Amino acid sequence: MENVQKNIRTDEMVEKIPIRLLKNKLYKGLFFFAAFFTFILLIVLLAQIFSQGASHLSWDFLQNFASRRPEQAGIKAALIGTVWMMAVVVPVSLLLGVGTAIYLEEYASKNRLTRFIQMNISNLAGVPSVVFGLLGLTIFVRILFFGNSVLAAGLTMSLLILPVIIVASQEAIRAVPKELREASYGLGATKWQTILRVVLPSAIAGILTGSILAFSRAIGETAPLVVIGIPAFVAFLPKNVFDQFTALPMQIYNWTSRPQEEFHFLAAAGIIVLLVILILMNSVAVWIRNRYENKR
């Protein structure tokens, strides 16, 4: 009787093989179509941007300030302003993000409070950027009276990418083998010495990769800058972090809002510059990851 039942089950499985193969081909085709459609859409978008903006890329475009005359307009103030903003974002977000990750992974006890904090950090990584803009407007612009300055924008962008850096740093620290820590303790090292000389060097690739990708997001965000009132038209360079400034996304936003078609071409040229910056930053992140992986 048991042999008969086994034979029946075997026959049923054999009969289902063509259906399974058909389903496999169907899902493979759907996934290929989704990837192909996304790729074609990206190519069309990039082709349109390059066709409109490539002819406007020049040294004068990089050296000139914004102007009401399209033939004289450039992105000098926006580029320098972006550098100023990132000079605030990088140290603030790295110190707070990596420090928080070290505390949560190496010092904090695993209880309900830490799990609650961890859950909220993960949720904050998916909050729309305009919400962080409202937070920056309330705290840095109105309460601390920083105004629409480099410092206010840099701190707002730091809040935006902080959850991403914390989560990425936690994953990198968590990936360090426990045996390395135990070996360090066995040699008489303290907790902090183990973190500084064993954990962080082993996790540095993941930390830097996640951080650079987070910095790329900060460079390309526009909504928080609009909310805190960063001007879109600036014809001067900031001298310190308390000065007004503009950033590349704001300059692009300003040009796209103009009715003249020539400004739209300038916006396309600005998008090309922004894309080049983002690609370079992502390439650096990949290079750092591969370099440290090859050393292992």
What is the rounded distance in angstroms from the CA atom of residue 81 to the CA atom of residue 199?
Answer: 36
Per the model's pLDDT, the better-predicted residue between 21 and 52 turns out to be 52
Does 165 share its domain with 109? yes
> pLDDT class for 260, splitting at 50, 70, 90?
confident
The answer on pLDDT for 5 being more than 60 is no
Does 175 share its domain with 258? yes
Closest CA to 267 of 69, 73, 53, 46: 53
What is the reported pLDDT for 57?
86
> pLDDT class for 282, splitting at 50, 70, 90?
confident
What is the rounded distance in angstroms from the CA atom of residue 232 to the CA atom of residue 235?
Answer: 10
Rounded average pLDDT over 219-223: 91
The answer on pLDDT for 4 being more than 60 is no
pTM for the full model? 0.83
pLDDT tens digits, one per residue of 118-156: 889 988 888 899 999 999 999 999 999 998 899 999 999
Rounded average pLDDT over 73-78: 90
DSSP the chain: -HHHHHHHHHHHHHHHHHHHHHHHHHHHHHHHHHHHHHHHHHHHHHHHHHHHHGGG-SHHHHHSPP-SSGGG---HHHHHHHHHHHHHHHHHHHHHHHHHHHIIIIIS--SHHHHHHHHHHHHHTTS-HHHHHHHHIIIIIIIS---SBHHHHHHHHHHHHHHHHHHHHHHHHHTS-HHHHHHHHHTT--HHHHIIIIIHHHHHHHHHHHHHHHHHHHHH--HHHHHTT--S---S--SSTTSB---HHHHHHHHHTSSSHHHHHHHHHHHHHHHHHHHHHHHHHHHHHHHHHHH-
Domain count, the chain: 2
Does 30 share its domain with 64? no
Does 158 share its domain with 259? yes
172's tokens: 């990198």
Does 138 share its domain with 267? yes
Out of 46-50, 131-135, 189-193, 198-202, give the one with best mean pLDDT: 131-135
Does 121 share its domain with 214? yes
What is the reported pLDDT for 16?
66
Rounded average pLDDT over 170-189: 90
Does 35 share its domain with 168? no
pLDDT tens digits, one per residue of 58-68: 888 889 888 88
What is the reported pLDDT for 27?
85
What is the rounded distance in angstroms from the CA atom of residue 225 to the CA atom of residue 151?
Answer: 12
Per the model's pLDDT, the better-predicted residue between 4 and 44 turns out to be 44
The answer on pLDDT for 12 being more than 70 is no
Does 45 share its domain with 141? no
Rounded average pLDDT over 228-254: 90
The answer on pLDDT for 90 being more than 60 is yes
Does 286 share its domain with 196? yes
> pLDDT class for 281, splitting at 50, 70, 90?
confident
What is the reported pLDDT for 293?
67
The answer on pLDDT for 261 being more than 90 is no
The answer on pLDDT for 8 being more than 80 is no
What is the reported pLDDT for 79?
93
Does 184 share its domain with 201? yes
What is the rounded distance in angstroms from the CA atom of residue 226 to the CA atom of residue 121?
Answer: 24
Does 236 share its domain with 89? yes
Does 239 share its domain with 227? yes
Rounded average pLDDT over 70-92: 92
Question: In the listed set 40, 56, 72, which residue is the last one of a domain according to the structure?
Answer: 56
Burial class of 252 by CB neighbour count within 10 A (0 to 12, 13 to 18, 19+): buried
What is the reported pLDDT for 209?
87
User: Residue 37: which domain range?
Assistant: 2-56
User: Which CATH number do you get for residue 144?
Assistant: 1.10.3720.10
